[in-house]
Structure 1
C-alpha cells in the first residue's frame, strides 16, 4: 500500500488555500464578465442613452436660429426631425425665413437637463422631456432669457433618433 505524504507546514497549507480562493474568484469574475457582455439590459441602457442624446440635441436645434445663418439653422431643424413634424418644417420654411429675416433675431438654446420618459426599443419610439434656457437677442434691447420645458416624441430612423413631435410641457399644477 502506498503511503500518502502529508505536510504540516502552515505556509504550504496557506498557499494551497489562497490558490484555491484565487482560482474561485477568477472563475466568478470571468462568469460575471461573460454575463454582463450578454445581458440585454446593457443594450437597452445604450439605446436609452442614444435616444436621450439625440432628443436633447434635436430640441436644442429647434430652439436655436440665427438670422445671419438662416439656411444653416433651418437645415438643422429639418435634419433633426422626421414624419409630420419634418413635413411641417419643410412646408413652412419660406414663412420662417421671412419672419426671422424681418425680426433679425438670434435665438440660442442650452440644454439644462433631459430625461427619457418612455422608450419602446422594439418599435423604435421614445419620449423625452428637456429643460432649456433660451436666449433671444433682437437688434435693439437686452437679450430675453427664459427657461422652458419641452416634451418631444422620437422615432428611430435609418439615420438615428429624430424628433417626430415637439411641444411645450405643462407648467405648474394642472390638476383640476
Structure 2
C-alpha cells in the first residue's frame, strides 16, 4: 500500500523475489471529525465502506459524494506519481501480498484487497508489523490471510510505536 507500506513491501518483494506494484487506497474521512475513517477508495475506483460507521455520519449526501470524488482524485494522482507512466500491474491468477507499515484503519486494506481481486488476484494476504485489534479483525473478514505479529488495542501514535519498537529490535 502507498505511503508507509512501500519501504516494507520493497523488502518483502526482494526477499520473495517477486514483482512490486502499488495499490493506493485513500481514506474517506468524516467531514465533522476527520479522525473518523468510514471508508476508502482506490485509484481504480474500488470502494470499501464501513457501513455501521457510515450510518453514524450526519453529513449530507452531496458532501459525502464530494469527499469520495476528491479522495478518488488523490488516489489516482498518487498512483501516477508512484508508478510514473507504467501501467497498473495485472494480478491474473496470482496471490497479492498487500503490505502496509501499520493496520490502523482496516477499511484501507479491505479496499486494497478488493482492488487486487478486481485486477485478477485469486488470493490476498495482508501483512503489517503492527495493527489494532479492530483493523486486523476487519481485514481478516476480507483477506485470505492476515499476518500481523503485533496486535494492539489502540495505536494513538504509530511513529511513537515504531520508535519504541526499533529500540528493542533484535539484530
Fold match (TM-score > 0.5) = no
Instruction: Give the structure with the higher percent helix.
Output: 1
Per the shorter chain, which TM-score range? under 0.3
Larger radius of gyration, structure 1 or 2? 1
User: Normalising by structure 1, what TM-score?
Assistant: 0.25
User: Normalising by structure 2, what TM-score?
Assistant: 0.26
